Amino acid sequence: MDSEEVCRALKITKRTLQSYRDRGVIPCSRLGGKFYYRRRDLAVWLSRKTVQTR
């Protein structure tokens, strides 16, 4: 997934995604000046961020 796809999927801004990337919050790869994200990595990241409720 590219940055635009991730922003749409997570409903976040490009700046928020950049901040996550800069802080190492979301795993990504850079190829030819463009950032890419694996769906599996994002799913794992989201599952760790999910808060269980009663």
Look at residue 26 and tell me if it is in a domain: yes
From 11, 48, 51, 8, select the one nearest 26 (Cα to Cα).
Answer: 48
Q: Is residue 15 part of a domain?
A: yes
Residue 12 covered by a domain? yes
In a domain, 54, yes or no: no
Asked whether residue 16 is assigned to any structural domain, the reply reads yes
Domain of residue 34 covers: 3-49
- Percentage of residues of the chain with pLDDT beyond 90: 78
Higher pLDDT, 6 or 51: 6
Please indicate, yes or no, if residue 41 is contained in any of the structural domains. yes
Percentage of the chain with pLDDT > 70?
Answer: 93
Q: How many domains does the chain have?
A: 1
- Dist. CA 1–CA 9, nearest whole Å: 10
Residue 17 lies in a domain: yes
Summarised one tens digit per residue, pLDDT across range 12-37 is: 999 999 999 999 999 999 999 999 99
Q: Is residue 37 part of a domain?
A: yes
Sign of CA dihedral 32, 45, 24, 15: positive
